[in-house]
Structure 1
Amino acid sequence: MSKMTTENAEPLPIKRLQEALINRIAAGEIIHRPASALKELIENCLDAGSTSIRITSREGGMKLLQIQDNGCGIRRADLPILAERFTTSKLSTFSDLSRIATYGFRGEALASISHVARLSVVTKTKSDSCAWRAVYADGALAPPKAGQSPDPKPCAGNDGTVITIEDLFYNTPTRLASLRSTAEEYSRILDVVTKYAIHNPHVSFSCKKAGSTSPDVTTPSGSEVKQTIQLLYGHSIANELMHVTAQKSDVDLQPWEADVFCSNANYQAKKTIFLLFINHRLVECSRMKRAFEAVYSAILPKGTFPFVYLSLIVDPSSVDVNVHPTKREVHFLNEEVITERVCDAIQNELGKQSHSRPFQYQTLLTGGMLSRERPAPAASAEDRGEGPSEGHDDAPADSSTSKGGRAKKIASQHKVRTSLTDRTLDSMFPVVNQATQPSPSSDPRAHDSPATQSPSPLKIRDIKESECYLTSVLNLRHALIKVKHKQLTEILEKHTFVGIVDLQRSLSLIQHSTKLYLVNNSALSEELFYQLGLRQFADLSRMKLQPPPSLRSLLQIAVNAEPSVQQTKLTKDQIVDKIFGLLMSRREMLAEYFSLHISSSGAVESLPLLLRDYTPNLDKLPHFLMRLGPQVDWTSEVECFDTFLRELAYFYTPGPLPLIGYQATDVDEGQVKAEEWQIQHVIFPAMRRYLCAPQSLLDRDVIQIANLPDLYRVFERC
């Protein structure tokens, strides 16, 4: 067959496209993937004045995407045209575009969704006596089931709107096939929720998979931008944020102001995280992004990028919002000038902080033995900067044996110090007279000097788990295993104690393998003593008090020192009487389960002993007994045991006194030394053996601050 040439080609007739085809083409311009549909729906929720937005997804939003809000709802009379194209409550004349202050204005979101998915809406206004449910197909009301009327049906529901999208792109298989995996589509959904949650901290957001009991993203209402960034992006970004503001100068024609949260010189990421909101609308601007990257390129290492959140408020009359079907881009006047002013403000703030920029690396990790490291990689691997992997225990520090039996030298950056005799943190300070060293235990080894002590100078006695058949206690023990973080538990089991950094702030340094960690020893101690109390439940040793103090007198001391007591309706004497009567009525249970013995005359005869060789600060005893009244839930068995053990652990935890008027200067040097000795030689060795570390400790109580191979890379660049 011969090819058709342009000489004999006949023009094809122009035809009007079918309405259904037109609508699907338009829908494809707006709804690219589940995340783009969610973006449109979140904006509708915010326009409705919602303070709570709940999102549920199944298979990355392709099978189900549901969003629920508590906004103003939709009127029953507006439901018939809700999903028609170009129906909106936010725009009436063309001139309104010049002062648009809402997210939506074209009325195409729900219409587009109805053409490529199964759409249903449940809505209720405050004035309605019930909610209304409507189903839509191709922009019009559709019957929920065959043979039923398409009119909205009354149903139960709360104030607000629930929009459910099912089988997205079921009638456009080409678009469905072009989508990525369900995991990636769900990550895009989480990204959209995260960005809107940061810009709207006054709104509570929640996003989870269908059937999941816990959300993957959740934020409280009434928060602040920085707190939300910390919650969603983590402490690594939040701790290095700068707050920068910029606004209209005298030479600018249009008013504008910018609110920026950006990272300082200490934060580095593999790609730029750029959140841009113009007049509260989430948009993209590659020119601004490149400008901010140029500011940071002078201070960040090559290949690393910053975090920038920018909220820009400009005069609505100077913004053209109608330049992109999904409203992803906008045009506004004086873009270059505003970008330059914001960049200057960020650069000035970076300049102020560069003088006090901390260098967050330590040189304490060199030398000693190699612990849990494989033989050093070959030279080519070292040149590539590859770190060691976890492997064998206690290999020699200077050499390792290859498969052929030849000894290979261990690179310096893979040597690990595993003995406190090499050097301790205390050894870097002036030596204290050995005669003044504390000896809280009768163990003669407690009198060794710090330079000669082993990592565990006291032999921690075996603490056996008591036999208990109470379901409540067994459930609490099982819960500890369920939340155990294996890697953190291993770090604490095989750590080397480096030293106490700040006793008042409860900060200590420990080393594991080639990594150095800053830990909150109070938080770790509290969790340790809670688990020790649960481990020895109903079989706790006793610590006798001679002479036994009066329970009422101790409560009186604590109540008098408590400032919050003044806010209650009860007098201090009434509070003392109430707590005293509560503890006296349960003294048999306290004695049997917790070894807290109170005589019939109201004298405290003994306290539970959680860990031998460790004595809690008895100055905290009044506060501990007082808290047993309001802080322990006496109505439920599980809650009673759990909250009592938490209070007991809080009492045992080393730290400042909870009483009024306590200052750090009130404690003499001997008490400080004794507490430091107990933390290092009793508590941390007990953590090695008995602490089942929960994942919650990783949130703020255990932070990695250095890694030896990374230090060598840094010093090689110097």
Structure 2
Amino acid sequence: MADPLPIRRLDETLINRIAAGEIIHRPASALKELLENCLDAGATWIRVTVKDGGMKLLQIQDNGCGIRKSDLPILAERFTTSKLSSYSDLSRIQTYGFRGEALASMSHVSHLSVVTKTKTENCAWKACFADGRLVPAKPGQAAEPKPCAGNDGTTISIEDLFYNTPTRLSALRSASEEYARILDVMTKYSVHNPLCRGVPNPDLSTPASAASPAGTQATIRMTYGSSIVKELIHYYYSSAGLPAKDKGKDKQQESDDEDIDMEDDVTPKDWSFDAHFTNANYHAKKMVFLLFINHRLVESSRLKRAIEGVYSTILPKGASPFVYLSIQLHPSTVDVNVHPTKREVQFLNEEEIFATIADSVQEKLGQQGGSSRTFQVQTLLTGGIEADASLPSKTRKVKESQSKSTSDDEDEDNSDKTTSMPSSQRPTKPIPSHFKTGTLDSMFPVANPALRAQPQESQVTEYKREIRESQCRLQSVLTMRKDVEVRRHQQLTEIIQKHIFVGIVDLSKTLSLLQHSTRLYLVNHCALAEELFYQLGVRQFGDLSRMKLSPPPSLRTLSQTTLDRDAIIDKIVEILMARRDMLADYFSLNISEDGDLESLPLLLRDYTPDLDKLPNFIMRLGPQVDWLSEQGCFETFFRELAYFYVPGPGPFAPLGDARTVEADEEKVERWQIEHVLFAAMRKYLVPPKTLLERDVVQVADLPDLYKIFERC
């Protein structure tokens, strides 16, 4: 056996270059950081110059407050910032940037130069940086900043991006595609900041607009086209009933105003959102989704899916809307420091907020009704009697009599032909047997027969194992069990209990088809499974089976898989270790004295959760579980456990990560969904109304299809 390799400290230059790769992925991510710096500086106009998709040159100029000459020597050092002095400041941060890593990262992977001037200085100052330090502009010169001509504000130039990281450079796409990404970032920020003017250039020019819905729509017209603006719906919501604020004013002024508002008028539970979204008359091939949370451009796949679910019921197949959302939350409820590029944030009451937004959009679209939708109507159906209108009247009468005679004969010979009977009086025919027995998989050829999880003849699978309700006297648990019954929706309960599984439509999007009576439903089996596993946890509280892990992984190792900050990892481990006994007694989650995870709660036998999501589950137990109240602790823990158990990537999967499933794993997952999950749902799921509103959609009804066919 070979001797173990020695552990060494990494070179400081290598450390900084690795860190730079986490912040600067491509030219567009560098531009995003620079744009945010301009807005933090109170700029009212911004000019961007790009060469070769930003790889040769990326320059951004603003008229903001500028940078002091005395601050230039440490400008590009890591963790140098004017916006953060202590960790507690993160709970009330209002600026875009705060960690002081952007310019430092750029200096390690490009040639960085800065020209800046404050209003009080007589001249501008130019400085060049490399590897976080001042360097001379030319060999033989001094490294100190040099005086030069310049306007108030700052001009930052990045040249030869990734010149010293050839692997990253070769991974970039073409210059045109990188430029398109840069243009997309600029367009989104211009919509959210209408008071900030974009200096005219061939591809994007935005005039300064008023900080109002009309100003926002004017910017949308300039950037996305007038066809979108004609169909836009504006909606503002505030949980505290406060009026909409101007979102385009000076950044420092805005920060001061919000601090006052948060202290005097708004509680941490209050929040609001401002939305501009298209109605049913507009549809595009690809969804445009702009999401800003506390003025930060972020992404949320869960909210995007909820909005798509709302529009899926009113838009044609393959059509997508335009949606711009600006959500305002109390800073103390938002964790902005969860992603290196600040692309994601986490906040309290996320599920409730997303549900409110989706319901509001659905309500406004419903109020529009069909008044704004336009259709092309075919007034003459091919093959009808009217098709022979060009014939002489006598000939047409003969054809009409022949048609009527033929129709009468067919009605006598074939009882299924009911065209002469009004549809309101027509009896509903029973569904033919092949509609009940054929699964979706059996209707399509499969290249690899091993992938077929079920023979062509499908029968209703019953879950044989009995899951008993545990004996518990805790009032909080009894209240939770009662709430499950109170939220029951009777119609949806009947659908779930008596459904026939048709097939999985899309495994990655967690969509399946169910049949109940004469209706066909498209369901999000991930959402149904989440509710099932939550209810199974509450049902078996204190008496859960255990799923042993061998060898038991360390809590710290699991946390380090998703986090790279030792302070946060230590806090999560400390929280879980302090509650080892309670976790073992109530939830069957056993942790050894050494901090090893020995077992997990087993909610449903014959079903194994995806252990690749275990690090994310452990990481979320720290901040997402309400450890201060009894019922809140039980509810939030079982919700997090349900998120871990659901099939597919889950609602909190990292954005942009492609999920690859091997053929054998896909076969097992499909089998578990059909024969274990849906079988258990028939027996134990108590579905709430919220599932019927967003995650269970009727896509077809046999009597309605008959009406459509007879008109054709």
TM-score between the two structures when normalised by the length of structure 1: 0.48
So what's the TM-score if we normalise by structure 2? 0.49
- Structure with max Cα Rg: 1
